[in-house]
Structure formats: structure tokens, C-alpha cells
A and B are shown apart, each in its own frame.
Chain A
Amino acid sequence: MNESSQHAFFSLEQNTKYIQKALFDTHDLKIKHHPYKDTQGALIYLESLVDPALIERNILAPMSFAEGKSLSELFTTLRMERSNDLEKGIQGLMQGSCLYVLDGDDEFYALTTPAKYERSITEPENEAIVRGPHNGFIENLTVNLHLVRQHIGTPDLTVRYHTVGNTVPRKVAMLYVQNLCDNELVQKVERRLSEISLDTVMSTGFIQELMEDNPFSIFPQHVNTERPDHTSAYLVDGHIALILEGDPTALIVPACFFTFYQTPDDYNNRWMIASFIRFIRLISFITAFQLPAIYIATVSFHSNVLPIQLFFTVQGSLTRVPYPPIVEAMILELIFELLREAGLRLPSRVGQTIGIVGGLVIGDAIVKAGLVSYTMTIVVALTAISSFLIPSNEMSSSLRILRFPLMIAAALFGYIGIAFGLTLLFVHLCKLESFGKPYFYPIAPLKFQGLKDTFSRFPVWNIRKKAQGNDN
């Protein structure tokens, strides 16, 4: 950021020259000569950032009926400043202001006339819920803050602005509820934010990666959501949310493993249904990354665990496959990942074609061709479905990657390999921290009170503290 200042000149021409030079003669810089009374004057703005209607209504129209009023009285824009620092004026230009410069005056007017082209507040596509508020964050920070404030209408909700990025600064809002949030945590997040020294911060992904406790861990350490209600729920729980200007994603810290398995729907449903769904979801955690490994270990080491009827069915489907199970699994996983990535990038109308090609043509033909077996197709399909059950896209991706090392361990050592792989995984999970909070809470450290809202969801009156209750 350029901190220098430049006192404005008395000559209009010098001023316009300076601004033109500072913006490298960019073509969308418009200088409209517009005299005030008998003095030469110029309206300077970037046409890509201003709203022409605002200029028309609030600047040009009043000036044409001047009738002796001073300029400060004339302009009817929301904010008007008189300044003599040209550099500050240029900053203003970048934020959508107009500058009105008069000849023979070393002070100019900075008038806010920003254009706002905003998406409507629609429900985020990848976080759709059945019941509950259907609005979502958009690319405007003010609107996003407004949405959160609508949910938490107390003065306790605090917003702190920070600026990240050196050459292209961007605003980050840090939100927390004053009395519910740990002070130490606030300081920790603030410190990490201030230590970000990157030229540009393109997206929340940058912030996420720069702030993580352990960037080499496969597990995401921030929850990200585009839902204001989700964000508010976390804030009330004592978490901190970070929202970047121009990005609809809120980053929530600290995260723990099981928060990735919770959705707002859990609390919109009645508790028994919610518990059941949550239980299913946690089963999916196991199947999403262990099923192929267990299958591989079974057919290459421990075929005696199969019941006799299944034994022959599996054997029958395997006899025509020339590869060892691990190769077979890798082929199918690879095809699945290809299809998934292709489906993600394609427009939805073509996407259906991918479904047909992938699901029907490849799925059936590959078995008939003897490249993979039917049972392996079932296993991989089940795994794929389970991985989509996880509400968080990030966690689901992590688990998808995790199954590859586990598959290799299973192919090398059978069930023992899986046991060792899982041991290492859980050691890592227990050791991991997110902003000083244990990641695998409430399992490690074990806390029974916390378990009520982890594997199942107990009724709200059972898990929520009462009004006078102290910190959980």
C-alpha cells in the first residue's frame, strides 16, 4: 500500500495530469469538465466503479441549479469530503468515488457514488437444507454482516476489520460474540491475521492456509460455510468467523472433527430423527474410507471371514479379473475420480450425459470386459455414496484421499495393515489442534457432556445450557 501523500495543486490541469499519471492513463478514467459558476472544474471518476445515475442525480443536477449556493450545500451524495491529499483522492477513486476538482483551489471534493452490482441473497447450492432459513452469503461484506446481525441482534456481536494483502489490500471482518468467545482465542486469531504478509489474498482459501495450525495435516481445520444461520450458530457457540470482502464464504475457527459432520438440519429436525441421521452419517465416515481397504484385505488375505455363499459369489466375480485386488481398486477409484471431477466442471445439461456414460456405459462395460469385478464396483460405489454423505465438502475430499494409503496398507498387510493405518490416523487426530483447541474433542479429551451432541443429538433441553448456566 502506498502511504505517501501529495498535496493537491492549485492548477486544475496539474491536478488532472497527476491523477492521470497515477492511474497510468487507464482508459476507464473519465474526466468531465464541468465549470462551477465561472471557475473551471472537472469531475473525475472511474466509469467502471461509479453509478452514473447517482452522479446524474446527486452531482450534476444540483450543480445546474446552483443559484449561488456553495458546493458543499449542493452535493447530495451520501458522503462528501473535502480533502487536499491527492493520494487519498486516488484511493477514493478506487472505491468508486467521484472527485470534483476546481481550478485555483487546492482542496477538492470526494463524493461517494459507488456502483453496486450484487447477486441476490440466495441459498448456497452446496449447502441446501430442507427446513430453516434459505438465505446465503454473497460477495458483499456489508450485506454479509447484515445477514449475521439479523440472526444475532445483540450488542455483544463484535466486528473487527482487518486488512490483508500488501499490494492489493482486502478487508477481512472478524466476528465474535464478546462474552461467549474466549479472549485468548480472539487474540490468537488477530495475531495470525496480522501476520499474514502476502501481496494479494485472492480468496478465503489463502487465509485458511496461512492460519492453519498444521498445514501438513489432511484434515481441514476451518469450517467454511456460506450460510448466515450456520455462521450465527457457531458464533453463539463461542467460535470466531472470518469473512473476506468479495467472498461469500465464512471461515469458522476453531473447528473440531465432529463439527464437519453437523448440519443446520440436525437442529431443525426433531431430535430422534436428527440422531438417526447423524448416526448414519458417522457410519458413512467409516465406510467412506475403509470399505475398499477392508474389501482388499479380505479377498487377498482373509477370505475365510466370508460366509460360504458369499465366498463363492465373490470368487465367481473375481475369477475373470486378471489383476490383484489393489490394482483393480485403483483402476476403479481412478475412473470414479475422473467422473466426479468431470461432472463438477461440466454445465448441468452435459453433466447428465456424464452420469449416463459413467454410470451405465463404463460401470457395466468395464465389468463385462473383465477389467474389474462386480463386487469391486459395488464397494467403490458404496464408498463414493458414503463420501457424499458428509456435509462438509472439505472433509469429504480429505477422506477420499485418505482411503488410498489405507488401501495400500491393506494390500500389503491385510487387516493388520488397516489396524496400523487407523492407529496412525487416530494418533494424528488426537494430536491435532485447531487454534489451541483439541481437534478430536469430545473423544480426545473424552467428555461425556460433549458426546451428547456428537454421535447422536440429544434433545435441545438436554444439550443446551440454561440461561444462567456458565461456560460449558
Chain B
Amino acid sequence: MNATGATRIPTVDRPILRQESTVPGTSLTSRPARPRSAMRANVFNVVRMHLVDRYGYTFLPWGILALVFGLTYAIFAVVHPPSYEDSATGGLSTMFIFLTVIGIQTATRTLPFAMSLGISRRSYFLGTWLLGVVLSAVFAVLVAVLAEIEMTTRGWGVNLRFFAIPWLLDGPWYQNLATSFILLMLFMAAGMWSGLIHQRWGVPGNVVFLAGWAVLAAAAILVITWRGWWGDIWRFLAEADMIGVIGVFALLALGALTGTYLTIRRIVV
């Protein structure tokens, strides 16, 4: 009540809308549920939600890459190495690191936001990977095109080997396209998986997760050494046609995606 203790009610002639809810069909609680369309809408919304930060997904990675390329180019222009073949740089790794960071962020920052707005884990996974696939494909096309130009010009006129990474991306264009596409996906999946582990079990969980992979790798190396398989493996990597290598990467990416999906299904934000 106000200070004078008067009990007058404001008689503002305000339209009253509470009443509206009693009219059939207008209440907020009368909307029918359509499972399929709700899920489709949410998958689409997840894509949009990621792209709300458009520059982060377009200009940022390519801007950074252009910067790194420009700097390397400048250095190469000055130094001018004698041969294109031996002048590999690690500049393209920024692109893969970028995909990993995107993967981590989708798990630790966007996922809790999306779930607070009523998006299921499954829809989030589908939406994120719809974007992930498209993103990896577009980026892979760009990488393959640039690698092709690089190989044609034999190092942009300064013997700079930037995109056509030896052994990995120096094959025919379609091979480079497939390899970079699969690898970009793999890096994003790895980032997202690790981010989900972080989301669920924190830093200790992630340490265990990464250490687990390290242990697994060490065990594999041990087994390979013990069985004396190194020769076979080098031969496979060196001689086997790239399709086999791509197959291995694809299996890894598929494994990471499966792991990501299984982790997100039980995730608690």
C-alpha cells in the first residue's frame, strides 16, 4: 500500500487479457505437438545458432590463414628457397586447429545455450554436424583449389609450399579434396568430443580422456614394434594408393563422430 494507507485501486482502463486464455485455442497450452517437424525445426535452428556468429565461421579462419600465408609468402620472397619440393611449411595447420576450436566451442558454450532453449541433444548433434559437413566441404574445396594452383605455379612463384602438403595433399585434386574434407571433419569431431568430455567431467576428465588416447597410441606402437610391423606400415603409407589412407582417416573420423554422439547422448549441462 502507499504511504497514506488509502486502499484505492488504480482504475486505469486497461484491457484485460488473462481472460483470453479461456477462449479455446488461444491459450499457450493448447498447441498440438508434432514431433517430426519440431525436430526438423530444431536441427535447422542449431545451424542458424552456430551461424549467428557468421564472421567467426567465414572471415576469421580464412583471414587468419591469409595472414599466415601472406607472412610466409613475404619471408619466402626474401629468402627464396631453391626448390619447391623441399620447402614445406605448417601454415595450413591453422585451418585444422580452427576446426578443433570450433568443435570444442560447440560443446562447451553453444550446447548449454541450445539446451536451455529446448533443443534436444540429438537435434543439436545433427544440426552441428550438418553445419560441420558443409563447413568441412566448403573449406576442403578451397584448400583443394589452392593446392592445385600451388602445384601448377610450383609455389606461387617463390617456391612456397603451403597448401599442397607433401604426401597428404599433393595428389590429384579429387584426392586432395577428399583427404582435406575427411581431415577437417576429424579435427572438428576430435575437438567436439574433447569439449563434451570437458563439459561432463571437467579438466580431470579431459586429462584422463587425452591420456587414454596417448596410452592407446603408445600401446599400439609397442605392439607394432613387438610384432615387427613397422616395415609393413611404412610400405602401406608410402605405396598404398591414397584411397587406403583416406579410408583410415575416414574410419578415425567415423570413430570420433560415434564417440561424440555417444557422449552427447548422456551429456548433462
Chains A and B bind each other: no
B residues whose Cβ falls under 8 Å from a Cβ of A: none
What residues of chain A have their CB less than 8 Å away from a CB belonging to chain B? Answer: none
